[in-house]
Structure 1
Amino acid sequence: AQPFLPAFRRRGVSARALGRAHVAPHAAIPVITVFGLELAFLLEGTVMVEVIFSRPGLGSFLVKAIEARDFPKVQAVVIIAAVLFVTLNLAIDIIYRLIDPRIGEQDA
């Protein structure tokens, strides 16, 4: 436990308020990190799922473009996937900053 938690309890702060205001933001950072990584892996796995189950989508479009050696289409899909990945990471970084404003202060 952090040293400030017992001090707050001695001052009469309820366990619920203590958890909501002090414990939850610290515990949310790793949860958001894992959530973002899982979303990235989900984006990565769409190609396999679409090909295996014959579902139309960006992944099957990519496979057909590779088979046809249509490089502009392949490049377009790769750029779209990269933009989605970067946007996802940016959103996670923004959420970090909203949860804990001290994150990134050294860089500003």
Structure 2
Amino acid sequence: MIRFVLGGAVTAFTGFISSRYGTSVGGRFLGLPAVFCASATLIEKQEGRRKREAGFAGARRGRQAAALDAAGMLCFAIVFALLVQSNIPIAFSVASFAWVVSSIAAW
């Protein structure tokens, strides 16, 4: 239910951004409902369950894991936005590498 509500709210926000600033800006936010909301809640649930199965309270661990994923996605988005105008395949490759490095470093 949380994923559904959060995804709908972000989709509505993306529509607002598109109507206010144009489709070129709004299009950059289209992946957010599809990727971020679902992944953050799934990661939080999975990590929390793993900790509970080990005999610990898992809520804090789940939130931390979801936050690390969000930081990695943010690194990807920033690097990709900075490099996409020059070369899309290189921008995607470098942004993916930045995501992996930031995620590993933060973990």
TM-score interval, smaller chain? 0.3 to 0.5
TM-score normalized with structure 2 length? 0.39
Determine which structure has more spread, i.e. the larger CA radius of gyration. Answer: 1
TM-score normalized with structure 1 length? 0.39
- Considering fraction of residues, name the structure with more helix: 2
